[in-house]
Structure 1
Amino acid sequence: MAVLTDAHTAEREAVDLGLRSAVERLPAPASRIASYHFGWSDAEGALIEGRSGKALRPLLTLLAAQAVGGQWAQAVPAAVAVELVHNFSLIHDDIIDRDTVRRNRQTAWKVFGTTEALLVGDALHALAFEILAAEDDEQGHFAYGAHILAATVRALIDGQLADTRFEGRQRVGIAECVAMSEAKTASLIGCATELGALYGGGSPEQLEALRDFGFRMGLAFQHVDDLLGIWGDPAVTGKPAYSDLRSRKKSLPVVAALGSGRPGVAELSRLYTGSEPLEEEQVRRVAELVEQCGGRRASEEAAEVLTASAVSRLSVPGLEAAAVAALVGLAERTVGRTW
């Protein structure tokens, strides 16, 4: 069985084609905004060469289908649905956070306005379930797949609500921050791998194992993403340097640093409190304090532990060794991203 790797383009192209076909179902104005968001066109609607992000979640879905002995093509509708939900959440997150840059260009709401971007996000959410229903397989996986996806959307919303409420609080505990990240990020990656296993014909035990793998990997991914939000290279992240600190985002390394009890916490807390924009020198100082107070190391270690824990869940009987190796490699490369 051919196993999906970064060198195999057919699978990526199948997902891309599925996404484009889904977006074409939207009314022309909405389709234009969605096409811009995915990187397929410019603000005027002219087609450009571009890829719609890393495609991590759909790749995990296709690999999970192979891991349980299925063919990756069986899981393409599920992979497309997951990526549509992911991008619905990205559009809404950008509006909520007032982020103006994603993938090295202006966000959809900044170009087309809040109202239109919000509605296009809603449309992508609806399209995800339409794709699952329209492409239901012979085994009739739609009902259970839709249940998994709907439960995940509820978790995403719960996580976003928690994240938003954190902004108005001076203190947030690390357990609360982890729970928020589990809901907002890990749940969808766990959904991606569980849906792949479902559409690949996996057993209940295999579905549970693949879901747990994706969930734990997802939380590790969030730790790394939060590190990139502070120390990431803008050329790689597509966002300005120190972007999370400028908005005083209570990310995992920041919350860990604030709760460390180390010298420097009082200064970090003082700088991180308030609504006035931080000056450039203050932003750099906050980054130094987060590192000095152990926040950077705490997230690095958590990502390493979670990745190992995720990999351990792939030891259930009956999984295809080559696909498992590909999943492990993808997890390690994703969590091993540098900043």
Structure 2
Amino acid sequence: MTPPVAERATAPEILARCRALVRPALGRAVRQLHPWHAEITAFSLGWDGPDGRAIPGAQGKGIRQALAVLGAEAVGAKAESAVRGAVAVELIHTFSLLHDDIMDGDETRRKRATAWKAYGTGPAVLAGDSLFALAVQTLADAPGARCVPAVRLLAGTLNDLVRGQADDLLFETRPWTGPDAVQPHEYRLMAEHKTGSLLGCAAGLGAVLGGAGRTETDALTAAGRHLGVAFQAMDDVLGIWGDPDVTGKPVHSDLRRQKKTYPVLTALAAGDRAALELGALLRTGEPLDDGAVRRAAGLVEEAGGRSATVAEAHRHLESARACLESVALAPDAVGELLALLPFFVERTV
């Protein structure tokens, strides 16, 4: 009698398994920090203290942790070999959010005050700096020869990340329309640097710490980068049309801030009547009232910005799939990586 085929784990189950594996090591890492920085970090991670439990709804999704763990499993290594890399990536991710919230002036994240709002700008900056240093130390302390390529991969990622953040800030100074306007392809490159680089690093670190060669590591890193661009694209959709009860942000929040995102830029590039009206609305530079924001959101959708952004996310998911299928990897781990793909375009927060 043929034994029944085991059901493949769902995306939430995969994310939960990887978070549970990484959480103890992440807690130990945070407790190495100065007590003040440890408290701010625990707050940012959605814990009730460095030794405490998670606060429901205040945690991240654990995508980067999962990519690190699955990256190791994909190259035939044990999941535990990737924990150090998962911790380093989570520390860098938290560092980037602490600084990003200050630069963007965001006062809430995951329905709570951001760290700078709760503790002050200076303490939040210092906490972020301490996480940066701890992430590098975490990989530098890896046993054997794997620490060198791991630190090298993280260093390249950090260069990409800050490059992407610089471009994102510079975009704010450029006009909405005309020869100096931000083009969709420029935004796509910024998203790959700012968001894709860290997801690529997560998967790549799993492979490196799992003892993989260059071919497998490069394929997993590339897959992660594509997933990051898909993630950012859907983040932009949620920033305009997300449910505020789920996202914790006001409806049309990105439009209220007149933030240059992929849906808006692709809508403006359409050149049709809706695009021209949208450009005229945004060019004034004046704050948009509720009526103007609703009108702008409608024009973005009418000009095809929303559908183009969703299509962009799907294209990058397919590119990630192609990367995973381009090399010989452990089938079960690849199956779990593929099971995560719909999460990137179906998520609501």
Distance 1:269 1:10 in 2: 46
Q: Which amino acid aligns with 1:141?
A: R
Equivalent residue in structure 2 for 1:201, among 185, 205, 211: 211
Distance 2:77 2:114 in 1: 37
SS at match of 2:273: coil
Give the CA deviation at 1:204: 1.4
Q: Is 1:269 aligned to 2:279, yes or no?
A: yes
1:219-248 CA distance string (max 9 Å, x none): 111111110111112233232221211111
Equivalent residue in structure 1 for 2:125, among 118, 129, 147: 118
Q: Is the 8 Å Cα contact of residues 212 and 310 (structure 1) preserved in structure 2? A: yes
SS at match of 2:13: coil
2:55 corresponding residue in structure 1? 49
Equivalent residue in structure 1 for 2:293, among 283, 299, 309: 283
Task: Write out aligned runs for 1:63-74 (5 A).
Answer: 63-74=70-81
SS at match of 2:250: coil
1:133 corresponding residue in structure 2? 140
Give the CA deviation at 1:314: 1.2
Give the CA deviation at 1:212: 1.1
Q: Is 1:295 aligned to 2:305, yes or no?
A: yes
- Where does the alignment leave 5 or more consecutive residues of structure 2 unmatched? 1-7, 176-180
Q: Is 1:142 aligned to 2:147, yes or no?
A: yes
Distance 1:52 1:227 in 2: 21
2:230 corresponding residue in structure 1? 220
Give the CA deviation at 1:206: 0.7
1:156 corresponding residue in structure 2? 161
Change (3 A) 1:18 1:185: same
Distance 2:52 2:348 in 1: 34
Q: Is the 8 Å Cα contact of residues 206 and 316 (structure 1) preserved in structure 2? A: no
1:7 corresponding residue in structure 2? 13
Change (3 A) 1:46 1:322: closer
SS at match of 1:331: helix
Equivalent residue in structure 1 for 2:82, among 64, 75, 78: 75
Note the aligned Cα RMSD (angstroms): 2.0
Give the CA deviation at 1:338: 4.5
Q: Is the 8 Å Cα contact of residues 230 and 287 (structure 1) preserved in structure 2? A: yes
1:29 corresponding residue in structure 2? 36
Give the CA deviation at 1:46: 8.3
| Structure 1, 47-56 or 277-286: larger mean CA deviation | 47-56
- Where does the alignment leave 5 or more consecutive residues of structure 1 unmatched? none
2:4 corresponding residue in structure 1? none
Q: Is 1:105 aligned to 2:115, yes or no?
A: no
Task: Write out aligned runs for 1:223-262 (5 A).
Answer: 223-262=233-272
Change (3 A) 1:10 1:305: closer
Equivalent residue in structure 2 for 1:62, among 61, 66, 69: 69
Q: Which amino acid aligns with 2:137?
A: E
Distance 2:282 2:184 in 1: 16
**Structure 1 runs (4+) greater than 4 angstroms displaced:** 45-48
Give the CA deviation at 1:270: 2.6
Give the CA deviation at 1:331: 1.8
Give the CA deviation at 1:49: 3.0
Q: Is 1:316 aligned to 2:316, yes or no?
A: no
Distance 1:123 1:164 in 2: 23
SS at match of 2:40: helix
Distance 1:216 1:77 in 2: 23
Distance 2:152 2:248 in 1: 33
Distance 1:47 1:335 in 2: 29
Q: Which amino acid aligns with 1:220?
A: A
Give the CA deviation at 1:29: 1.4
Among all aligned residue pairs of Structure 1 and Structure 2, give the percentage whose two residues are the same amino acid.
43
Q: Which amino acid aligns with 2:194?
A: K
SS at match of 1:141: helix
Change (3 A) 1:47 1:328: closer
SS at match of 1:236: helix
Equivalent residue in structure 2 for 1:84, among 88, 91, 115: 91
Q: Is the 8 Å Cα contact of residues 153 and 201 (structure 2) preserved in structure 1? A: yes
Distance 1:262 1:238 in 2: 33
The normalised TM-score by structure 1 is 0.93
